[in-house]
């Protein structure tokens, strides 16, 4: 009988703020699976069989307390096993530095799989390293799995679009959060067996954290609990809008930044706009001397995950250029205006609470009016049900086991067969 190594090793990469909530449910699902297996009585020779060891790697792309540490606390993430401490830099230098430092770690750890999430520089850097690694003379390398695969804005001026395309095309397993992702990957020639429509791990985190977010005191600390006779949204909370802006195309150009602010003037007369400011944006506001153009907009420091969730849930309207917030507002059924010309998350438009506002003063004003006058009816996108990470872990473990058996020579499957699954799970069947 074939001896299969007992512990599988899965490396999970996080680096920037939007990665943390996408990764947390995957860690929880691996732990839960391990605990279940540990509870099953096994002969002592097989103890630990089928369990997976998680190696959490933080690249250090984001490093501030507010951009990283507070998310570890809020999401109860374990301390990273490895911290690459890369920090900020130009795209090339940041990506290259992550690659250089991660390669050393991967060669040492020889993981069975490297899981990357989202579309930040850390995602593409580690996926590239893992796809080209060779642990031995036969060229064994880890499986590369991309969580949130297939999303496309079709706007190659966005650094994230390049990151998504490259990551998807070097990955073996593509875990998709909405149908458009499946369609895009198939159109780009990715094999159907590699594509797994599993749902959205960011929504797993949101659903798991909602009760804790309710207990946040951010509304009180920002003075947004209803004051006597104040404007009330109906649940004891003052009416306010929530704004986030950090995309270089919006905030690195003074003219564009100004027209977005102009588009929000009317809204700011209706209710206060709370604006947790990303470090990049904070630097531009000061560089462009935009402080005086912020009338009615209340600048606050970046918030932790639970506080931000609480603010989103109770907002009258959210205005954003973030990708993830479009999804979170859809799940929370809070009207959202996206100040961009395109979105890689079209399900938030077709099913969700999102409308595109563009970046001109006029188009933003129109979109805000539309959302105030007639907020959209929202239906929850398919598989945004809190179980995406569990589906991912099942597919991943099966793929690792299949590949181990194939490389050990006992299975008729080729190594490439391990790109698919053998458990009849949610992968796309080729007819």
Q: Give Dmax (Cα) for the chain.
A: 76
Q: Tell me how many degrees the CA angle 23-25-31 measures, rounded to the nearest 5.
A: 110
Contact window for ligand UD1 (CB under 6 A) among 58-66, 287-295, 405-413, 419-427: 58-66
Contacts of range 210-216, beta carbons closer than 8 Å, 24 or more positions apart: 210/309, 210/313, 212/74, 212/306, 213/306, 213/307, 213/309, 213/310, 213/313, 214/310, 216/306, 216/307, 216/309, 216/310
322 vs 353 by CB, closer to ligand UD1: 322
95 vs 237 by CB, closer to ligand UD1: 95
Does 121 bind ligand UD1 (CB under 6 A)? Our answer is yes
Shortest separation between residue 69's beta carbon and ligand UD1, angstroms: 9
Residues composing the chain? 431
Does 280 bind ligand UD1 (CB under 6 A)? Our answer is yes
Taking the mean position of all CA atoms in its chain, how far away is CA 235? Answer: 30
Looking up tokens 């605990």, which residue turns up? 35
Shortest separation between residue 25's beta carbon and ligand UD1, angstroms: 19
Taking the mean position of all CA atoms in its chain, how far away is CA 101? Answer: 23
The alpha helices in 222-278, defined as continuous H runs, are 248-251, 254-263, 265-270
Q: State which H helix or E strand residue 347 sits in.
A: helix 347-350
Contact window for ligand UD1 (CB under 6 A) among 209-217, 255-263, 277-285, 399-407: 277-285
Q: Is 246 known to be catalytic? A: yes
Contact window for ligand UD1 (CB under 6 A) among 59-67, 351-359, 373-381, 418-426: 59-67
Does 17 bind ligand UD1 (CB under 6 A)? Our answer is yes
Contact window for ligand UD1 (CB under 6 A) among 25-33, 117-125, 253-261, 340-348: 117-125
Shortest separation between residue 409's beta carbon and ligand UD1, angstroms: 41
Does 246 bind ligand UD1 (CB under 6 A)? Our answer is yes
Assign 3-class secondary structure to 262-306.
HHCHHHHHHCCEEEECCHHHHHHHHHCCCHHHCCCEEEECCCCHH
Burial of residue 376 (number of CB atoms within 10 Å: 0-12, 13-18, 19+): middle
Contact window for ligand UD1 (CB under 6 A) among 56-64, 73-81, 196-204, 258-266: 56-64
Does 67 bind ligand UD1 (CB under 6 A)? Our answer is yes
Q: Torsion-angle region of residue 8: left (phi > 0), alpha (psi -120 to 50) or beta?
A: beta
Of the residues 146, 246, 351, 427, only one is catalytic, namely 246
- CA distances to 92, 180, 226 from 193, in Å: 33, 17, 53
Does 65 bind ligand UD1 (CB under 6 A)? Our answer is no
Does 64 bind ligand UD1 (CB under 6 A)? Our answer is yes
Among 10, 14, 57, 62, binds ligand UD1 (CB under 6 A): 62
Does 250 bind ligand UD1 (CB under 6 A)? Our answer is no
71 vs 197 by CB, closer to ligand UD1: 71
Does 97 bind ligand UD1 (CB under 6 A)? Our answer is no
Q: Which residues are catalytic?
A: 246
Give the binding site for ligand UD1 (CB under 6 A). Answer: 16-18, 61-64, 67-68, 88, 119-121, 159-160, 246, 278-280
């Amino acid at each position: 009988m074939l001896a299969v190594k007992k512990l599988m090793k899965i490396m999970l990469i996080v680096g920037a703020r939007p990665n943390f909530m996408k990764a947390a449910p995957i860690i929880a699902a691996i732990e839960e699976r391990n605990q279940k297996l540990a509870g099953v009585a096994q002969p002592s020779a097989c103890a630990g069989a089928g369990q997976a060891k998680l190696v959490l790697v933080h690249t250090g792309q984001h490093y501030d307390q507010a951009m990283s540490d507070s998310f570890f606390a809020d999401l109860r993430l374990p301390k990273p096993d490895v911290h690459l401490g890369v920090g900020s830099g130009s795209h090339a230098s940041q990506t290259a530095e992550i690659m250089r430092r991660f390669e050393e770690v991967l060669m040492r750890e020889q993981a069975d799989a490297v899981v990357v999430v989202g579309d930040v520089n850390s995602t593409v850097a580690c996926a590239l390293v893992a796809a080209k690694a060779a642990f031995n003379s036969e060229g064994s390398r880890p499986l590369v799995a991309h969580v949130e695969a297939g999303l496309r804005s079709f706007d190659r001026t966005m650094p994230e679009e390049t990151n998504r395309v490259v990551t998807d095309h070097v990955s073996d397993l593509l875990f998709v959060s909405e149908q458009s992702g499946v369609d895009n990957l198939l159109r780009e020639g990715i094999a159907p067996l590699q594509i797994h429509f599993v749902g959205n791990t960011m929504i797993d985190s949101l659903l798991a954290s909602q009760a804790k977010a309710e207990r946040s005191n951010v509304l009180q600390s920002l003075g947004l609990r209803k004051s006597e006779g104040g404007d009330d949204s109906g649940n004891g909370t003052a009416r306010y809008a929530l704004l986030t802006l950090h995309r270089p195309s919006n905030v690195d150009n003074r003219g564009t930044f100004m027209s977005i602010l102009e588009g929000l003037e009317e809204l700011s007369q209706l209710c206060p706009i709370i604006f947790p400011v990303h470090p990049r944006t904070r630097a531009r506001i000061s560089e462009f001397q935009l402080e005086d153009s912020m009338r009615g907009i209340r600048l606050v420091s970046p918030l932790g995950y639970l506080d931000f969730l609480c603010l989103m849930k109770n907002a009258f309207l959210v205005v954003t250029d973030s990708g993830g917030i479009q999804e979170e507002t859809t799940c929370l059924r809070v009207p959202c205006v996206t100040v961009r010309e395109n979105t890689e998350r079209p399900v938030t438009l077709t099913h969700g609470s999102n409308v595109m506002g563009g970046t001109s003063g006029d188009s933003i004003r129109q979109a805000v009016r539309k959302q105030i006058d007639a907020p959209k009816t929202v239906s929850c996108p398919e598989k945004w049900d809190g179980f995406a990470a569990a589906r991912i872990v099942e597919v991943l473990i099966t793929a690792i086991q299949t590949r181990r058996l194939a490389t050990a020579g006992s299975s008729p499957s080729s190594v490439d067969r391990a790109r698919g699954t053998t458990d009849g799970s949610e992968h796309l069947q080729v007819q």
